[in-house]
Structure 1
């Protein structure tokens, strides 16, 4: 009598697993989010995990369109970089391979001159 493995081999036409942010990426994003909330700039966020990309959306108010979207698209890793920050109108503000470097475009919003 032979014993078969209860887990079948993945089918070729099966959907790929969804893309998600890992723990370190979420730590970097939520650190920035916390500072922006403390500054009164942001108030809410949402996360979407799709087949092609993971999206962290930032809102000023919950009933609005997102102010910014932080996207992770692994398919672009070797081309343009897998991380991107998009503005409210969908314009790409920054794209790259290092998440901290890409998020610097949003950290500039925290720096204000003292009068």
Structure 2
């Protein structure tokens, strides 16, 4: 199965990731600066280190497509929840809309990632 064109999906996904990277440490900083820093390490570090072969140019540690999808879902959940915690309602609604559209545009890529199964090489 050939990887689908995900240029639009990748822009939306990246926008949602940026929200997660900003809003999550912001939300957690009220509890602990250490949690805030750890959230950035998790949200940026895990997808950088773990990726599905063929999905990114450089793969440090290859994982199945399922793991990549779970990492994206983590980002989207973090963006949504954190936006509702720290930002005004109108901004949280916009983030929720962004995440919803991102979920729709990710379908083809996720289907392709799932077809990768446990193949990591």
Question: With structure 1 as the length reference, what TM-score do the two structures score?
Answer: 0.33
Question: With structure 2 as the length reference, what TM-score do the two structures score?
Answer: 0.31
- Bigger relative contact order, structure 1 or 2 (CA pairs below 8 A, ≥6 apart): 2
Which structure shows the bigger proportion of residues in helix conformation?
A: 2
Say which one has the larger Rg: 1
